[in-house]
Amino acid sequence: MSDPMAHRIAAATPPALAHRIRGLSDRAIAWVFVAPTIFLLLAVNIFPLIWTIRLSLTDFRTNRPNNPVKFVGIENYRKILTDADTWLSLQATAHFLIWTIVLQVVIGFALAYLINKKFRGNDLWTTLIVLPMMLSPAVVGNFWTFLYQPQIGLFNYVIAFFTGADPSSFSMIGEVGLAPWAIVIVDTWMWTPFVMLICLAGLRSIPPSIYEAAECDRASKWRQFWTITIPMVLPFLMLAVLFRGIENFKMFDLVVQLTGGGPGATTQLVSIDLKREAFEKWRTGYASAYAVILFVTVFGLASIYVKALNKVKDR
């Protein structure tokens, strides 16, 4: 304690406080510091999760808080998994998930590959391409309903222009066959730039000298692409798929705004189905079980996927 600064701090600290702090062990002080975070985590994450699991085993309804709550065991889970509507929602979600990922990866990678070529104004192009991602999903959903409008919609007009069909002869969000594609198109339009940015980061991480070495090793551009570019961008690409996959599994806002789950239940993704059960039908217990099932599904899939991703990275 020969440090004069330490003496001054000691002198300036009120004796009572100094005594109290001195009374705590390092471990206790560490707990004091992390306690607020742990409390917050328990309050907003862990407690609701446990509460949801508890509710999922009952027939509780939020709109009838005074009714007696009956413990029903796994009855809710059984009902959900045997309900044909659930499987329709899961099917719609799978269709949406698979096609958005395929399209976004292919188009996103292609765009990144092109943008990565040095050309004049590629910064401007990057900015323009990234714009859709920065808009609010509610806004995007709203104005795509206008674009899809059969009489005045630009989308129908463009399709009609190229195919010669009558623009008002089809409705993207009104027809059972087209609506699932309508939401795929909008999500792809909005989120391809995100995949592109991640791919671009991957492409930029490859040092140009590696291509020079490959050039000297007599590898054609085609071979360079498949043996250098693709393997080195793959971890980035897989990360983009993970992000988009988790996001689109929970997709709600954009689709509600566009189709509201219709026509029929063709675009009723699981999150929309869940919201109906919870806040329109008020079957809280049932909806809780539904939420738990979805949580386990997405958590399980993501875990398997992250394992695969790590394997690719360590290769």
Residues at the site binding another protein, with contacts judged by CB under 8 A: 207, 209-210, 212-220, 223, 227-228, 231-232, 315
Q: What is the DSSP letter of 260?
A: T
- How buried is 161 (Cβ within 10 angstroms: 0-12 exposed, 13-18 middle, 19+ buried)? exposed
Decide whether 159 or 206 has the Cβ nearer to another protein: 206
Q: Shortest Cβ distance from residue 234 to another protein (Å)?
A: 9
Decide whether 118 or 315 has the Cβ nearer to another protein: 315
Q: Shortest Cβ distance from residue 204 to another protein (Å)?
A: 15
Decide whether 63 or 220 has the Cβ nearer to another protein: 220
Decide whether 123 or 314 has the Cβ nearer to another protein: 314
Contact 214/301 with Cβ under 8 angstroms?
no
Closest CA to 186 of 90, 94, 92, 96: 96
Q: Shortest Cβ distance from residue 232 to another protein (Å)?
A: 6
User: What are the two backbone dihedrals, phi and then psi, of residue 203, each rounded to the nearest 5 degrees?
Assistant: -65, -40
Q: Shortest Cβ distance from residue 23 to another protein (Å)?
A: 50
Q: Tell me the residue length of the chain.
A: 315
Decide whether 166 or 212 has the Cβ nearer to another protein: 212
Q: Shortest Cβ distance from residue 229 to another protein (Å)?
A: 11
Q: How far apart are CA 278 and CA 292, in angstroms?
A: 13
